[in-house]
Amino acid sequence: EFVKSDGSWNLDLLRVWLPKDVICRITSIPPPHLDFGSDRDLAHVLHDCPFAKDVWTLVLPEQLKQRFFSTSFPDWLLLNLCFHERLQGSGLIWPCLFGLIAWRIWKNRNLFIFQNISWTTTEVVKASSCWAQQYESQIGGCKRNNPSSNSANNLDDTWVFLSTDRAMARDSGYAATRGVSIIDGILILLNKGYRRAIILTDNLKVAQILSDLDLEDSEITVLRRTERIMRAEGMWKIKHIPRKSKLGSGSSS
């Protein structure tokens, strides 16, 4: 209701709720409209604008520098949230610091628009790092008080099976994801701390494409994202399991 049918801001309604200086800032931004396509403001603020790039350059891990500014926004989020490495010097886990910096960049943009206040790049990094340290100290204390959490320390070296497309040998004992895509399964394993997986699939074409790890010309977005995660995180092997061998002799294909 804040936008009229002709696509302009509804100034009469805005004046009811907001002071004049705030309305001036809002009207400097084009109103949202379905014909304009997807809203790109978030990607611009967090990823593309010069201020955001300057902030990220201060903290980027060496392993991410080559691809950090060249991926699409969805792939960018996946790349950083799945990079479970500690930063040299601070010892902070990257996804934790990444999320806090992204939030601080967004908050900084809003402060500038509505209050004409802006933090420097260094202030954004320092505040985010401080919050990340506080968070990890709290989480670390909880883990030390929970003996079962110590078992996760060796997960990086543990090989697990990820079975997709209802792919499961009848007597193998390997649990199937049953309808969950390969990319979802990989993200679940990464979130649980596993970084080595043998992926079982009955789709021969998918197995061949992912084994080649060459999807630059692929038009299949999901497979391309899956390949990028596999290339960046841990160790992965692809194994094709024919449907007949998975279903067993008593089942029909």
The structural domains of the chain, with segments of one domain joined by +, span 40-141, 160-240
Q: 32-41, 54-63, 173-182, 197-206: which has the minimum mean pLDDT?
A: 173-182
**Whether this model's pTM surpasses 0.75:** no
CB-count exposure of residue 23 (10 Å: 0-12, 13-18, 19+) = middle
Residues 76-114 have pLDDT tens digits of 988 898 888 888 877 889 999 999 999 999 999 888 888
Q: Rounded to the nearest 5°, which phi and psi values hold at 44?
A: -65, -45
How far apart (Å, rounded) are the C-alpha atoms in residues 137 and 165? 40
